């Protein structure tokens, strides 16, 4: 099946304390976006990658990735104000012959190969799939003044990850309906579920964390400097 990748890379590095897009932040000598795309390029699973970027930095992204991956077919798209809008714009650039759309955060450079393959195979068979891991912490629901309201049953709670994969008509229809109705969520699996589609959950990895804060970047640097490599 023809598979194409949409990388959400339009976020700025505000919580990292950087004045540049997070995906361009250096990670053990290479921009984060280069390391993230490496996970997919090395597998030969994806026919083309659509990279959604901040408009003011598109030329920088193009130069960076063209140098790192001269043989990869890349399309660059200007991102929106929110992630959902950015992904929707990326989906409009899919080749019409695409069967499976894989959506991944640029800030997750440690995704295991095993999980990428599993989420793609599951989406091909079921229509929609996301990576996630069971919550190991107790989750508290609080009000605006940080008073405890409820403690959900941890046995039913999972932490969502990417990549998420979909048959193309599923995710395109979900985004189009959400745009018409003004509905917004923070990930595409939840959007597909809201639109009425069943979404399968594939076991992810604790190492597939999203680099958001300075301490995440520090951990990622130490993993790479220590010779980490993921061949799962």
Query: Total structural domains in the chain?
Result: 1
Paired sense of beta strands 100-105 and 158-167, if any: antiparallel
Q: Are 75 and 179 in contact (CB under 8 A)?
A: no
Residue 36 lies in a domain: yes
pLDDT at residue 77, rounded to an integer:
98
**Residue 67: how many other CB atoms lie within 10 Å:** 9
Element at 171 (helix H, strand E): helix 168-181
> Would strands 128-134 and 3-8 be described as parallel, antiparallel, or unpaired?
unpaired
C-alpha atoms less than 13 angstroms from C-alpha of 95 in its C-beta half-sphere? 17
Is 230 part of a structural domain of the chain?
Answer: no
Q: Which of 164, 165, 167 is nearest to 208 (CA)?
A: 164
Q: Which domain holds residue 107?
A: 3-221
What pLDDT, on a 0 to 100 scale, did the predictor assign at position 198?
98
State residue 46's pLDDT score.
78
In a domain, 163, yes or no: yes
Does any domain span residue 216? yes
172: which 2 tokens?
């395109």
Looking at 31-133, list the stretches that DSSP marks H as alpha helix, in order from N- to C-terminal side: 32-41, 58-68, 83-91, 113-126
- Determine whether 142 is exposed, middle or buried from the number of CB atoms within 10 Å of its CB (0-12, 13-18, 19+): exposed
Say if residue 145 is exposed, middle or buried (CB neighbours under 10 Å; 0-12, 13-18, 19+).
exposed
Residue 230, pLDDT score: 58
Cβ neighbours around 20 below 10 Å, total: 15
Give the pair of three-digit tokens for residue 47: 């026919």
Instruction: Name residue, tokens 């960076």.
Output: 64
pTM over 0.75? The answer is yes
Q: What does the pLDDT read at residue 14?
A: 82
Per-residue pLDDT of the chain (232 residues; tens, 9 = 90+): 899 999 999 998 788 878 889 999 999 899 999 999 999 998 887 778 999 999 899 999 999 999 999 989 999 999 999 999 999 999 999 999 999 999 999 999 999 999 999 999 999 999 999 999 999 999 999 999 999 999 999 999 999 999 999 999 999 999 999 999 999 999 999 999 999 999 999 999 999 999 999 999 999 999 998 876 655 5
pLDDT the model gives residue 17: 79
228 belongs to a structural domain: no
In Å, the largest CA–CA distance within the chain is: 54
Q: Is the dihedral of CA 79, 82, 88, 91 positive or negative?
A: positive
CATH code, domain carrying 38: 3.90.550.10
């Amino acid at each position: 099946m023809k598979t194409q990748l949409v990388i959400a890379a339009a976020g700025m590095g505000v919580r990292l304390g950087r004045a540049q897009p997070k995906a361009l932040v250096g990670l053990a000598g290479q921009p984060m976006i280069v390391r993230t795309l490496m996970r997919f390029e090395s597998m030969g699973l994806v026919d083309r990658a659509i990279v959604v970027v901040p408009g003011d930095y598109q030329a920088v992204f193009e130069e960076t990735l063209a140098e790192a991956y001269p043989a990869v077919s890349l399309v660059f798209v200007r991102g929106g104000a929110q992630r959902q809008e950015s992904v929707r714009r990326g989906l409009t650039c899919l080749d019409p012959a695409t069967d499976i759309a894989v959506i991944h955060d640029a800030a997750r450079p440690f995704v295991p190969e095993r999980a990428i393959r599993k989420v793609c195979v599951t989406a091909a068979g079921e229509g929609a799939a996301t990576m996630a891991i069971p919550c190991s912490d107790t989750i508290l629901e609080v009000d605006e003044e940080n008073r405890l309201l409820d403690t959900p049953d941890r046995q039913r709670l999972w932490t969502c990850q990417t990549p998420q994969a979909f048959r193309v008509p599923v995710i395109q229809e979900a985004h189009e309906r959400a745009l018409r109705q003004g509905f917004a969520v923070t990930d595409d699996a939840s959007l597909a579920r809201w639109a009425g589609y069943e979404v399968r959950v594939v076991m992810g990895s604790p190492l597939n964390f999203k680099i958001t804060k300075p301490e995440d970047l520090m951990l990622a640097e130490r993993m790479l400097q220590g010779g980490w490599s993921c061949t799962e």
